[in-house]
Amino acid sequence: MAPMARVEFGYNPPAGERGIERIDPRTFVRDLEAVLDYASQHFASFWVPDHLMRGDGVRMECWTQLTWIAARYPRQQLGTVVMANSYRHPPLLAKMAASLQAFSGGRLILGYGAGWLEEEYRAYGYEFPAASERIAQMVEGIVAMRTLWTQVPANYHGRYYEVTNGRCEPRPDPPIPLLIGGDGERYLLRAVAEHAEWWLPFSRKPATLRRKIAVLQDHCREVGRDYATIRKAYPLTVYLARTREEAEARAGQRLQTDDPPFAGEPAELREHLLELAALGFEHFVLVFDQFPQTDDMRLFVDEVLPGFDG
């Protein structure tokens, strides 16, 4: 059978309770390792979300979990979906990322964003300015980090961040690709056009997604960027079962949202992924709802993954 599409698949394991997976804090680390042991045989990358808390559930810190994963699984690319600029001083994060790039053998993709969960900000004592200001802070954070990665000594003086005769040794080799997460049309997608090697939108219905792509293409033209040079990743929560009825029953009320997750059987998921690949998405970051069970992931590996070339 001829290859259907050349894409890659990443796995986004839980960092804790999301209201999707069933998390037992007493066995979470052991369960996570068991699932990753299987996933490492089939997925090109592992991605960790960056939240300090989500409601009252269990939650691991993103960078600590990513480092734990990097040490145990030497073949996968490593990504964050996505780190909130506000939570770590960008010059410090530049040092953290350069260090992990060295320890991991150059496998890091730094997913970065402007943050959004106000409850979390307030609980941990962070200010929560307007979205436009958070995006401006994110952009300055990117510039400050890249200054540290490329200049010795590094100097940057912005409105929000400063670096004065800073050193970040070893500098990352290879350079760390930056993924910006989000799809706000006025400011966020402009930042993608100007600063990102990768883009990760929110999960969207096809019509909305096409509009976001068109807006990003417009921004690219305005700043003189070749849209084709931006790698497109896509996050997808998957409720996968032998029948659509079973998958939809697991998804429940989540299917009533404006941008619902996928719920269906393998052939339907394959068609959905092909539709997204036709829009230019080449790396899919998947969440499976049955953690710590792997029946759905195994169904994906057995009946969806074959035929995709990547």
Least confident span in 22-36, 220-234, 281-295: 22-36
Query: What is the Cα–Cα distance from 306 to 298, expressed in whole angstroms?
Result: 12
Indicate the pLDDT class of residue 258, thresholds 50, 70 and 90: confident
Q: How far apart are CA 254 and CA 263, in angstroms?
A: 10
Confidence label for 42 from pLDDT (cuts 50, 70 and 90):
very high
- Mean pLDDT value across residues 9-13: 97
Domains and CATH numbers, the chain: 5-309 (3.20.20.30)
pTM across the whole model: 0.95
**Dist. CA 305–CA 204, nearest whole Å:** 22
- What CA–CA distances, in Å, run from 30 to 71, 72, 190, 284, 298? 15, 13, 41, 25, 19
Report DSSP state, residue 107. Answer: -
**Residues 80-94: tens digit of each pLDDT:** 999 999 999 999 999
Beta pairing partners, 113: 84
Among candidate residues 19, 88, 3, 14, the one with its CA nearest the CA of residue 292: 14
Q: Which of 282, 234, 293, 236 is nearest to 263 (CA)?
A: 236
User: Does position 2 have pLDDT exceeding 50, yes or no?
Assistant: no
For residues 251 and 263, what is the distance between their CA atoms, to the nearest angstrom? 7
pLDDT digits (tens, 9 = 90+) for 284-309: 999 999 999 999 999 999 999 997 86
The sign of the CA dihedral 168, 170, 172, 178 is negative
- Report the percentage of the chain scoring pLDDT > 70: 96
Q: State which H helix or E strand residue 233 sits in.
A: strand 231-240
Helices marked H in 82-182: 90-103, 118-123, 131-150
Whether the pLDDT of residue 250 is over 90: the answer is yes
The whole-chain average pLDDT of the chain stands at: 95
